Amino acid sequence: MVLLQIAEPGAAPEVGTERQIGVGIDLGTTNSLIAHFDGADLNVLQDQAGQASLPSVVYYGEAQTLVGFDAEQYASVEPGNTIASAKRMLGRSRQEFENDPYIQLAGGEGLAFATDAGAKTPVEVSAAILSALKHRAEPHLSGPIVGAVITVPAYFDDAQRQATRQAAELAGIKVLRLLNEPTAAAVAYGLDEQAEESSLLAVYDLGGGTFDISLLRMRAGLFEVLATGGDSALGGDDFDRALAAHLLDALSVSEPTAVQRRVALALARDTKERLTDAASVSLDVGGLDAVSSEITVSRSTLETLLSPYIERTLAACRQTLADANVDAVDRVVLVGGSTRTPAVRQAVADCFGLDPLCNLDPDQVVAMGAARQADILVGNRQGDEALLLDVIPLSLGLETYGGLVERIVDRNSTIPIARAQEFTTARDGQTGLVVHVVQGERERVEDCRSLARFELTGIPPMVAGAARIEVTFQVDADGILEVAAVEQQTGARSEIVVRPAFGLDEVQITQMLKAGYEHASEDILARKLGEARVEAEALLEGLQAAMTVDGDLLSAEEAAALGSDMKNLEAVMAANQSDDIREATETLGKASEVFASRRMDRSIQKALQGVALSDLESEVAEENTP
């Protein structure tokens, strides 16, 4: 007997499809988690001991590699072999950590940790954590993992995002998307489904090693990130180090060993967590080999130590509100374990004038949101997809003639995005050019960060300004940049996926925007000067070349007068006053108009030489014939 599936008239029959498995991963600085949505329940997957969080710690011994709680046991015993907080180092340079007393670097130029198992990069450490999460999840799932949504701080730059992808690939995990952590938190709360009317949400995300503040406009099915800010090197680790330094100082340990530093860090982290509910705590400090065996730390002492770091987060909040041109928000969501600190919660409430929304576990909310998005991206909820519109944190552009920056994609532009702009050559006969991609908010290349360089060759030799080169910037949904340059006449093409060797350091990522605002007037003047100099140099070079070829068209007096104006322009350029340069350039341009007219007449005469008048009359008649 053949069974027939019956459907209502006009309706397509339902086709049974096997549910695909996607997971959400929060690769954290202090702890990492993996979550899964099974169609009914959103679950943060636990280990055999019932623990949801996996400490982001890896131990590399001669005979074994351990991850998580097992690795933490070696932190005080073998600090050099026990790597923690590797997320803070993803996509960053060696120079940023050479003076860090908590890190033991391997030899060589790259950023790598020296361990008994050999040099280990932050990407390898992160891959070990991701692999452990994958193995934890597999027994809970009914089939193979199709892919994962991995969350990253909104302020991660291209290098840091690329490093996260590389870690996932090394762990054998297909990345469906890199999702900004604040957006993931909003997804976890289901705030898009609750927002019948447009509302504004602030997500304050303070984790172990990174801080983000994002402003999202929400309505049913849509998240639009209006502005984002933060610091990719600020978080609970800084809280712990400040308190650890206080403990060592209070115990007069002036030159602590690596073991003492790790013991102090562990005590500081435990103290910080206990002071969430207690006014003061007593600590056993015998492990520091101090004279005293016990010390008391009060919550007020902790708050004094944390105050500078909390204020840095609030400054970023105020700047992000200004960027979005808003004065108030409808709701505030707290994300990240460091937001459990009472001083942080109170500071956020005072800053926004609202009690923060924190009914979901701040440690788990990001992974839960990523799991919801992964379930959509693997195709399980095609009709239920929420549209997520993230933004890029810093402007992207190119170096142009004169060392100036031409912005192609402005900061806080919604991604994915593609922008194209035409450029041309600066010199006669130029057959190639170097495309220099930069990132930042300043007007001069020297004040921005260089991302990449690549060459475009095969440009036909033409006079300066005749070639047409289209440069396209594409930023995908993960915030990763691809730049292509195409010469329009020949189709010659060159492109690059920007893969810088390291990311923005702690100072750069927080100061680039600040510098852009502080030096706005100075940058405008610098740009005016640069543009004036470029225009003047082009006119001088063009006239010098023209006088070499057609100087006989000028009388001795005319040539002398033109030469005098050219020398005057050169002298004015040396004084670096943009208005004076523009005035002298205009004067020289007017003085050269007669010479330019004579050159044009000569060119026309050469072109018409040997052409009969009757032939010209015939061509004109044909053109005028309807």
Residue 74 belongs to domain with CATH number: 3.30.420.40
CATH number for the domain spanning 589: value is 1.20.1270.10
pLDDT in tens, 224-239: 778 888 887 788 889 9
Residue 81 corresponds to which tokens in the numbers above?
A: 């072999």
Tell me if residue 384 falls in helix, strand or coil: helix
For residue 222, name the pLDDT band (cuts at 50, 70, 90).
low
Residues in the chain: 626
Buried b (16+ CB within 10 A) or exposed e, 568-602: ebeebbeeeebeebbebbeebbebbeebeeeeeee
Please, are residues 370 and 24 in contact by the beta-carbon 8 Å criterion?
yes
- Percentage of residues in the chain having pLDDT higher than 70: 84
pLDDT in tens, 513-538: 455 555 556 656 666 777 777 788 87
Domain final residue, candidates 355, 390, 425: 390
Asked if the structure places residue 439 within a domain, the reply is yes
- Dist CA 532 CA 579 (whole Å): 8
Q: Are residues 609 and 557 in the same domain?
A: yes
Question: 318 — phi, psi (to 5°)?
Answer: -65, -40
Domain final residue, candidates 474, 506, 538: 506
Residue 610 burial by CB count (10 A; 0-12/13-18/19+): exposed, middle or buried? Answer: exposed
- Dist CA 362 CA 369 (whole Å): 12
Asked if the structure places residue 53 within a domain, the reply is yes
Q: Are residues 149 and 170 in the same domain?
A: yes
CATH number for the domain spanning 262: value is 3.90.640.10
- Dist CA 179 CA 476 (whole Å): 12
Asked if the structure places residue 152 within a domain, the reply is yes
Q: How many Cα neighbours within 13 Å face the side chain of 195?
A: 23
Q: Are residues 160 and 26 in the same domain?
A: yes
Q: Are residues 418 and 543 in the same domain?
A: no
Cβ atoms within 10 Å of 389's Cβ, excluding its own: 16
Known active-site residue 272? no
- Of 199, 130, 233, 290, which Cα lies nearest the Cα of 502? 233
- On the question of pLDDT at 486 being above 70, the answer is yes
Q: Are residues 28 and 172 in the same domain?
A: yes
Report the pLDDT averaged over residues 204-213: 86
Please, are residues 323 and 227 in contact by the beta-carbon 8 Å criterion?
yes
- Of 162, 152, 242, which Cα lies nearest the Cα of 205? 152
- CA terminus-to-terminus distance, the chain: 76
Q: How many Cα neighbours within 13 Å face the side chain of 410?
A: 6
Q: Are residues 383 and 531 in the same domain?
A: no
Report the pLDDT averaged over residues 314-327: 89
- DSSP state letter for 20: P
Asked if the structure places residue 202 within a domain, the reply is no
Cβ atoms within 10 Å of 98's Cβ, excluding its own: 10
Q: Are residues 42 and 120 in the same domain?
A: yes
Please, are residues 404 and 531 in contact by the beta-carbon 8 Å criterion?
yes
Report the pLDDT averaged over residues 29-34: 92
Contacts 24+ apart (CB under 8 A), 15-20: 18/143, 19/142, 19/380, 20/146, 20/378, 20/379, 20/380
The residue that leads in pLDDT, 384 or 566, is 566
Q: Are residues 81 and 150 in the same domain?
A: yes
Q: Are residues 547 and 618 in the same domain?
A: yes
pLDDT in tens, 549-594: 888 888 888 888 888 888 888 888 888 788 888 888 888 888 888 8
The residue that leads in pLDDT, 375 or 104, is 375
Tell me how many domains the chain contains.
4
Asked if the structure places residue 578 within a domain, the reply is yes
Question: 598 — phi, psi (to 5°)?
Answer: -65, -40
Q: How far is CA 559 from the centre of its chain?
A: 55
- Of 424, 432, 422, 420, which Cα lies nearest the Cα of 396? 420
Asked if the structure places residue 95 within a domain, the reply is yes
SS3 content of the chain, % helix, strand, coil (to 5): 40, 25, 35
User: Which residue out of 124, 157, 181, 443 is catalytically annotated?
Assistant: 181
Q: Are residues 136 and 175 in the same domain?
A: yes
- Of 533, 542, 523, 548, which Cα lies nearest the Cα of 584? 533
pLDDT in tens, 116-127: 888 888 999 999
User: Which residue out of 124, 192, 205, 537 is catalytically annotated?
Assistant: 205
- Dist CA 31 CA 136 (whole Å): 14
**SS3 letters across 274-307:** HCCCCCEEEEECHHHCCCCCEEEEEHHHHHHHHH
Asked if the structure places residue 328 within a domain, the reply is no
What confidence score (pLDDT) does residue 5 get?
Answer: 39
What confidence score (pLDDT) does residue 7 get?
Answer: 40
Report the pLDDT averaged over residues 143-167: 87
- Dist CA 239 CA 242 (whole Å): 5
Q: Are residues 612 and 594 in the same domain?
A: yes
Q: What residue numbers bound the domain in which 163 lies?
A: 22-183+365-390
Amino acid found at 115 = T
Beta strands in 276-391 (DSSP E): 280-284, 294-298, 331-335, 387-391
- Of 190, 256, 255, which Cα lies nearest the Cα of 223? 190
Known active-site residue 590? no
Read off the pTM. 0.59
Asked if the structure places residue 192 within a domain, the reply is no
* 28 Cβ contact list (under 8 Å, min separation 6): 56, 87, 207, 208
- Dist CA 521 CA 512 (whole Å): 15
CATH number for the domain spanning 401: value is 2.60.34.10
The residue that leads in pLDDT, 529 or 609, is 529
- Of 202, 431, 423, which Cα lies nearest the Cα of 319? 202
What confidence score (pLDDT) does residue 616 get?
Answer: 56
Known active-site residue 181? yes
Q: Are residues 29 and 151 in the same domain?
A: yes
Report the pLDDT averaged over residues 602-626: 63
Residue 359 burial by CB count (10 A; 0-12/13-18/19+): exposed, middle or buried? Answer: exposed
